[in-house]
Amino acid sequence: MLVSGHTAATFAAKWLGSAHEVVVVTPNAKWNWIPSNIWVGVGQMKKEEVTFDLAPVYAKAGITYKQAKAVSLNPEGSASSNKPFVTVEFTEAGKAGTTENIEYDYIINATGPKLNFGATPGLGVGSELGEHTVSVCTADHAVHASHELEKCIEKMKKGERQKFLIGTGHGMCTCQGAAFEYIFNIEHELNRAGVRDMADIKWISNESFLGDFGVGGLHMKTMGYSVSSKIFAESLFTERGVDWIIGAHVNKVESGKAHYELLDGSMGEEEFNFSMLIPPFAGVGLKAFDKAGEDITATVFAPNGFMKVDANYAAGAYENWKASDWPSTYQNPTYSNMFACGIAFAPPHPISKPMSSPNGTPINPTPPRTGMPSGIIGKAVAHSICDRILKGENAPLHEASMANMGAACVASAGKGLFNGTAAAMTIYPVIPDFEKYPGTGRDTDYTFGEIGLAGHWIKHILHHLFIWKAKLKAGWTLIPE
């Protein structure tokens, strides 16, 4: 529960007031502004700058906070009670391992993802990072990554050439943007350290073309042209001397070596001294049971573990996909008092065109549901629930479809007040709508991007702005998601 769940909980507490109880269940003691983990991972920020304690913030907001993880849902209650409940297992010191059943009237599933390192042999076990690569998915991972990077820089200063491999660690990953930011921040830091000439830097990802970013790429209007993000991405990679491997499913990681399969079915391997490979995401493994105790997990959740919502899961082949397949209210179709937002909702299908190798291995990005859209979705879901509580059970639900929503994204390419750069982009809508916008699928009047120092300033200001908002400091509701 991070951006989406935190947004939903804090707005719900504000709108409902003290007459109703808002309970947050999260296994974490600290909130983490994940976008800035990139800067922690290159030693340009400390962990304390991207995290803060949740307990005092929720105490201030009047939210009941339980440091625990949800393990199962009983949306019909149990044999002895009709009241639905969620079973949680505490993670805080002193209560770790103990469980509690929490009854609810409405529930929002905003668990975020399970970091599924275990999907790739050698990348990790289950949700635990392995020993061969680093990660920037959590603040602790990023601290570890910065230490490993520092070791490589020291080796280069002593004349030992180092090879960096950054990208996605599986054919079904999302979050290419985070890896994109990390590779260019590393390149920037190596320049700063005066050792860039001692480094070979390579990108590896499951995108079928550079600049896909899990959204099928985007076209930006510039110099009178509508230009594909592929052109911009290839340009930046070339300018910064970064080679790339695309259409790759990393299928095994060993010490200093990654094995992969490409979209053409060929196999390859790449050696490295330092590697950050994003893991695929999965649902956190919540179970669901009916009143009789029968397992109804397959009714409530999709096979990937994410919760089913009001999406069209029967769209079928790519040719049949429509923007309207995407959910708008995030209400579970079976239980109307259950909602899912952020990464926790099951998308109807990818955004990028699905592809697979001749060996049948699927290799394509899965859809991102993070950042600005997840915040907007969390707020809309909170609004819907508050309306139903305050105005009655038939109050209309609020809508926030990614097919009618834009997103602003700032991808850092190096930190520095006067020499930093970032790619500032907007995309509208997030889900391409080829019926409404034939050709590019997007409105190019509202889809743009450029790289420069201004983008870095925006990224740094947003860092402080969103942490201010998350801490519920003065005027937090005025800061848009």
Partner 1 sequence: MAGKKEEANIKAYSQNFTTMTPGSFAKKMRTCVIFQFIRFIVINLKMLVVVSKSH
Task: Report, in Å, the least distance between residue 337 CB and partner 1.
Answer: 25
Confirm or reject binding of residue 239 to partner 1 (CB under 8 A). yes
Beta strand 281-282 pairing with 114-115 = antiparallel
How far is Cα 401 from Cα 461, in angstroms, rounded to an integer? Answer: 27
Reduced DSSP (H G I as helix, E B as strand, rest coil) percent helix, strand, coil of the chain, to 5? 30, 25, 45
Residue from 238, 255, 320, 477 in contact with partner 1 (CB under 8 A): 238
Residue from 225, 318, 434, 446 in contact with partner 1 (CB under 8 A): 446
Task: Report, in Å, the least distance between residue 239 CB and partner 1.
Answer: 5
* Residue count, binding to partner 1 (CB under 8 A): 35
Residue from 71, 193, 315, 408 in contact with partner 1 (CB under 8 A): 408
Task: Report, in Å, the least distance between residue 19 CB and partner 1.
Answer: 27
Confirm or reject binding of residue 428 to partner 1 (CB under 8 A). yes
Task: Report, in Å, the least distance between residue 189 CB and partner 1.
Answer: 16
Collect contacts of 60-65 with beta carbons under 8 A, ≥24 apart: 60/472, 61/9, 61/10, 61/13, 61/14, 61/22, 61/472, 62/13, 62/18, 62/22, 63/9, 63/10, 63/13, 63/22, 63/23, 63/24, 64/21, 64/22, 64/23, 64/24, 65/23, 65/24, 65/26
Which of the residues 174 through 193 are near partner 1 (CB under 8 A)? Answer: none
Residue from 225, 254, 450, 473 in contact with partner 1 (CB under 8 A): 450
By beta-carbon proximity to partner 1, the closer residue of 284 and 422 is: 422
Collect contacts of 300-303 with beta carbons under 8 A, ≥24 apart: 300/73, 300/75, 300/332, 300/334, 300/335, 300/338, 301/346, 302/346
- Residue 461 in tokens: 């200001």
Task: Report, in Å, the least distance between residue 145 CB and partner 1.
Answer: 26
Confirm or reject binding of residue 455 to partner 1 (CB under 8 A). yes
Stretch that binds partner 1, among 101-109, 111-119, 236-244, 311-319 (CB under 8 A): 236-244
Q: Which of 193, 203, 189 is nearest to 241 (CA)?
A: 203
Residue from 148, 234, 290, 399 in contact with partner 1 (CB under 8 A): 234
Confirm or reject binding of residue 297 to partner 1 (CB under 8 A). no
How far is Cα 476 from Cα 148, in angstroms, rounded to an integer? Answer: 37
By beta-carbon proximity to partner 1, the closer residue of 238 and 359 is: 238
Residue from 452, 464, 473, 477 in contact with partner 1 (CB under 8 A): 452
Q: Which of 110, 115, 138, 140 is nearest to 25 (CA)?
A: 110
How far is Cα 275 from Cα 259, in angstroms, rounded to an integer? Answer: 13
How far is Cα 401 from Cα 312, in angstroms, rounded to an integer? Answer: 12
CB 288 within 8 A of CB 127: no
339 CB neighbour count, 10 Å cutoff: 30
How far is Cα 5 from Cα 9, in angstroms, rounded to an integer? Answer: 6
The dihedral over CA atoms of 345, 347, 351, 353, expressed in degrees to the nearest 10, equals: 140
Confirm or reject binding of residue 339 to partner 1 (CB under 8 A). no
By beta-carbon proximity to partner 1, the closer residue of 64 and 404 is: 404
Confirm or reject binding of residue 197 to partner 1 (CB under 8 A). no
Which of the residues 462 through 481 are near partner 1 (CB under 8 A)? Answer: 480-481
Residue 323 gets which letter from DSSP?
G
Diameter of the chain measured on Cα atoms: 71
Alpha helices by DSSP H, listed for 51-138, are: 54-61
Stretch that binds partner 1, among 92-100, 102-110, 230-238, 292-300 (CB under 8 A): 230-238
> Which amino acid is present at 395?
A
How far is Cα 278 from Cα 116, in angstroms, rounded to an integer? Answer: 9
Stretch that binds partner 1, among 48-56, 93-101, 340-348, 442-450 (CB under 8 A): 442-450
Residue 386-405 contact track with partner 1, rule CB under 8 A, x = bound: ------------------xx
By beta-carbon proximity to partner 1, the closer residue of 286 and 424 is: 424
Task: Report, in Å, the least distance between residue 443 CB and partner 1.
Answer: 9
Residue from 235, 297, 299, 337 in contact with partner 1 (CB under 8 A): 235
By beta-carbon proximity to partner 1, the closer residue of 300 and 376 is: 376
Which of the residues 362 through 381 are near partner 1 (CB under 8 A)? Answer: 372, 376
Confirm or reject binding of residue 454 to partner 1 (CB under 8 A). yes
Confirm or reject binding of residue 225 to partner 1 (CB under 8 A). no
Residue 193: exposure state from Cβ atoms within 10 A (0-12, 13-18, ≥19): middle
By beta-carbon proximity to partner 1, the closer residue of 437 and 457 is: 457
Residue from 453, 468, 471, 476 in contact with partner 1 (CB under 8 A): 453
CB 357 within 8 A of CB 363: yes
CB 439 within 8 A of CB 413: no
Residues engaged in binding partner 1 (CB under 8 A): 231, 234-235, 237-241, 243-244, 372, 376, 404-408, 418-419, 421, 424, 426, 428, 446, 448, 450-455, 457-458, 480-481
